[in-house]
Structure 1
Amino acid sequence: MSVAAFHDCVGALLVREGEVLLGRRAADCAWLAGAWDMFGGHIEAGESEEAALRRELGEELGIDPLEVRRLGTIGGDHPEPWRLHVHVVTSWRGDPQNLQLHEHAEIRWCSPDEAKQRLGPAHADLPSLIERALATTRHSTGPG
């Protein structure tokens, strides 16, 4: 009996001044076309979660994360077994820019309610992870 391997990914909720940065996937994307999502991507063989997150945020947004905290993992079975390891990023070097227009049609800073509304349909646990990400930043002791 074999156990299905998980497709492991990392995702980042970038938080600034009480807002969350989200991207709307391009209409012709093979995965989640037109849906709103967080930034991140696949963990490559031999790569740690943190290394994958740094690589993906550099490729997609042109930033280098400075303060990263792991929030938790969500998962599912379709279209294949997958896990998304979600992190909150509260400090970074660089200005987030949409560097991969073929992947995201737009990026936007969203209020907590907007972020929960946009990500909620993707997974039932995302609204609570957004709340945790924002609560983490509200209790921050100062700049990093």
Structure 2
Amino acid sequence: MARRHVTVHLDGDAARAVDALRADWDPAMRRICPAHISVVYPEETVDVALLLDRLAEAARETAPFTVRLGALAADDEGRGGVFAMVEDGVPALEALRDRLLLPPQGFAGHPFHATIAHPRTSGSPAACWSHVRGGRLDVACSVHEVLWTVTDTSHREVLARFPLAGPPSRLPMAAGVLVRDGRVLLGLRRADRASYPGVWDLPGGHVEPGEAPRATARRELREELGIDAELEAPWRRLVDDEVELSLWLVRHWDGEIRNAAGHEHERLGRFTAEELRTLDLAHPSYLALLGEALEPGAGRHGSTDG
């Protein structure tokens, strides 16, 4: 059965390190496809055309980056496979995946890895794990392109290549959409704020260098509301000429919400869809987006990030 993935093929020392292990423990998979990292899996892809459109746009706005293969790990003592885990330091892979897997795509939340011994093709993945347990590759790989591939039982074919050409020109930001009991939480920006004074806005902020939008949303919710949020699958991406805002639906969190950033928000409020119509909102798209977030079952298309 043919399976289509968004992938990054490894090169240099990273590819050689993975292939040296695959030669011993999974030569069949080594013959079928190059050493690689899967970014999007077939079961996550609902709309192929939309996925590829997003990938083309993201590639134009993403600069080449480096990942590192680190600790070796296994699923079910090796019976479910043996992997080299990916250290996504920038973290560019995570930001790319979250952008590609906005609805209607699915979101499985698989950790990034390069497979050493696959349970379907390796004759002894458990023995592989016994041999490499506690090991680490510690090799880097430069990523200059992302691939759309199809793999069957005999070979892998590259269907399309997407060179990375960034960086983006827009300011990256991230925010959380906290929904509970039919209401969404907003903060009233202080009148003395330099940007967007006196309007109701979502809790969030700027993506710092070396930070993924998902991590930004968690950090900002902690700093502004005093909570530890459980982020669901990526939900929406709002783009204009200056700003790229990634949004996550949030229904579960630890801690009591409080106005922990009094220098930013005059007060917090929770509003129904009807009440939103009476507010001066920070962005004209908020009314429709937040109304959608308040609909029953909104955003329940994938797993949480745990």
TM-score (norm 1): 0.83
Secondary structure in 2 matching 1:50:
helix
* Percent identical residues: 33
**Matching of residue 35 in structure 1 with residue 199 in structure 2:** yes
**Matching of residue 98 in structure 1 with residue 259 in structure 2:** yes
Q: Which residue of 2 aligns with 1:57?
A: 221
Deviation, 1:51, is 0.6
C-alpha distance 48-3 of structure 1, shift in aligned 2 (>3 A): closer
Amino acid of the structure 1 residue aligned with 2:210: G
Deviation, 1:118, is 2.7
Equivalent pair of 1:7/1:82 in contact (CA under 8 Å): yes
Query: 1: CA distance between counterparts of 2:296 and 2:172?
Result: 24
Query: 1: CA distance between counterparts of 2:214 and 2:297?
Result: 19
Q: Which residue of 2 aligns with 1:70?
A: 234
- Higher relative contact order (Cα pairs below 8 Å, separated by 6+ residues): 1
Amino acid of the structure 1 residue aligned with 2:279: R
Q: Which residue of 1 aligns with 2:273?
A: 112
Query: 1: CA distance between counterparts of 2:198 and 2:213?
Result: 26
Q: Which residue of 1 aligns with 2:139?
A: none
Amino acid of the structure 2 residue aligned with 1:68: E
Q: Which residue of 1 aligns with 2:244?
A: 83
Secondary structure in 1 matching 2:237:
strand
Equivalent pair of 1:72/1:86 in contact (CA under 8 Å): yes
C-alpha distance 128-3 of structure 1, shift in aligned 2 (>3 A): same
Q: CA-to-partner distance for each residue in 1:81-125, whole Å, 9 max, x for gaps?
A: 2111111101100111001111000001111122354365622x3
CA RMSD of aligned residues (A): 2.4
Query: 2: CA distance between counterparts of 1:75 and 1:49?
Result: 14
Moved over 3 A (4+): 136-140
C-alpha distance 139-126 of structure 1, shift in aligned 2 (>3 A): closer
Query: 2: CA distance between counterparts of 1:64 and 1:41?
Result: 16
Q: Which residue of 2 aligns with 1:133?
A: 293
Amino acid of the structure 1 residue aligned with 2:283: A
Equivalent pair of 2:186/2:203 in contact (CA under 8 Å): yes
Equivalent pair of 2:233/2:248 in contact (CA under 8 Å): yes
Secondary structure in 1 matching 2:279:
helix
